[in-house]
Amino acid sequence: MPQQQSTSDRRTFLRTTGAVSAAGLAGLAGCSGNSGSGGSDGGSGDDGGDGSDGSDGGDGELEDELQIFQWGDYWPDGFISGFEEEYDVSVSVSLYSSNEEMFNALNAGGTGQYDLIFPSDYMVNILNEQDMIQPVNLDALSNFGNLSEMFREAPYDPGEERFSVPYQWGTSGIAYNEEMVGDIEVTSWETMWNEEFSGQMSMLDDVRETMGAALKYLGYSLNTTEESEIEEARELLVEQKELLSTYDSSNFPTNLINEQLSPVHAWSGGAFQAYWETFEDGSSPVNYVIPEEGGVVWVDTAAITAEAENVNAAHAFINHFLDAEVGAEITNYTYYGSPNEAAEEYILDEILDNESIYPDDETMSNLEYIENIGQATTLYDNAWQEIKSA
């Protein structure tokens, strides 16, 4: 993934320009991948986590290994190695680029391959229904109370037991390079059907995100189970396909940077990476827009697999990133929204005040979580197969 600008560079820029609106970029991050969203190594080795004595985890001694399955570019540089040194745990990291890829890997090889995974909101419910994740021991997470009430009462993880812990959150929308789109104003999903951009656009290679974009453009909920609405979205995306260069969830930041593709359907974090990579002399040609029709708000979470061999180490890792100062360090690197209310004391004001990262109430009202839509999943999957093969 491209190198991000240093925090000092960001601070200097944002202090001189101020926060941007939700219709412009200036620092929106997000993932869902993010690949959505986010980083491969991680933090700074900050001494902010509880349990450095090796005793904070599940119901026993801390194991000496931890197998993590996660999105790419997820942590500040040195975060993983810092955790390893502090807790004397050897961490192995494997990457995936979509929730479906993660699910299929666990389904094919068993959940015992990994201890800790990072599913997005809707996938938590699916994994739970398939008995692929286990309840989190909240008594082992002394920092769980650092989360804001909104994220402690997650609608995608209902019930008396919790099966996930929020990590970061963001949005998906449209990213573009001004050098490639000229003076055309980008405010609506309609942009992604504009014939003037034929051959230079991409959509996320993600069934729910891309079907969701079409559904929002049509004025429907991205969680609709109405067959007629799903069919209408399918037809719209089939019409769009001849205008696209590709479906892509991993390379869109690079394509924006190199002026290879624009506009692109993007997770906010990838858009932000491209923004800072092209930032020079106080500005960047890369922008990010949450379309006026609305889009996806996502939460990436941590979950422990059903057959995890290193449960205590997994709890220790979760508790570590829930620490207020550690959580702020992550957000100051990724520019994602943080679910960690206690971390706000340490998060840069330029981030907290930026409506592209923390959208205003009006923008938030047009955003939806991707939900588990049960049997209607088959309708989405069949539509996606027809779109991809058209």
Query: Model confidence over 64-111: pLDDT tens digits?
Result: 999 999 998 789 989 999 999 999 999 999 999 888 899 999 999 999
Between strands 295-305 and 133-134, the pairing is: antiparallel
Same domain, 308 and 253: no
| Domain-embedded: residue 51 | yes
Answer whether residue 267 shows pLDDT above 80.
Answer: yes
Same domain, 212 and 101: no
Nearest Cα to 175, choosing from 330, 364, 30?
A: 30
Same domain, 175 and 280: yes
* pLDDT value of residue 38: 37
Same domain, 105 and 248: no
| Domain-embedded: residue 157 | yes
Answer whether residue 304 shows pLDDT above 90.
Answer: yes
Cβ atoms of 266 and 172 within 8 Å: the answer is yes
| Domain-embedded: residue 1 | no
Same domain, 192 and 252: yes
Domain span at 47: 39-168+300-352
Count of domains forming the chain: 2
Give the CATH number for residue 72: 3.40.190.10
Answer whether residue 203 shows pLDDT above 70.
Answer: yes
Same domain, 98 and 233: no
Confidence of residue 58 (pLDDT cuts 50, 70, 90): low
At 248, the amino acid letter reads D
**Model confidence pTM above 0.85:** no
Nearest Cα to 201, choosing from 211, 210, 191, 209?
A: 191
Q: Which residue has the higher pLDDT, 34 or 84?
A: 84
Same domain, 144 and 92: yes
Distance CA 165, CA 194 (A): 40
| Domain-embedded: residue 20 | no
Share of the chain above pLDDT 90, in %: 65
Confidence of residue 334 (pLDDT cuts 50, 70, 90): confident
Same domain, 247 and 378: yes
Rounded to an integer, the average pLDDT of 199-206 is: 96
Same domain, 75 and 194: no
Rounded to an integer, the average pLDDT of 188-209 is: 97
Confidence of residue 37 (pLDDT cuts 50, 70, 90): very low
Q: What is the SS3 assignment for 202?
A: strand
pLDDT single digits (tens) 141-161: 999 999 998 888 888 888 889
| Domain-embedded: residue 5 | no
Q: Which residue has the higher pLDDT, 36 or 258?
A: 258
| Domain-embedded: residue 324 | yes
| Domain-embedded: residue 8 | no
**Position of tokens 């697999």?**
305
Q: Which residue has the higher pLDDT, 356 or 201?
A: 201
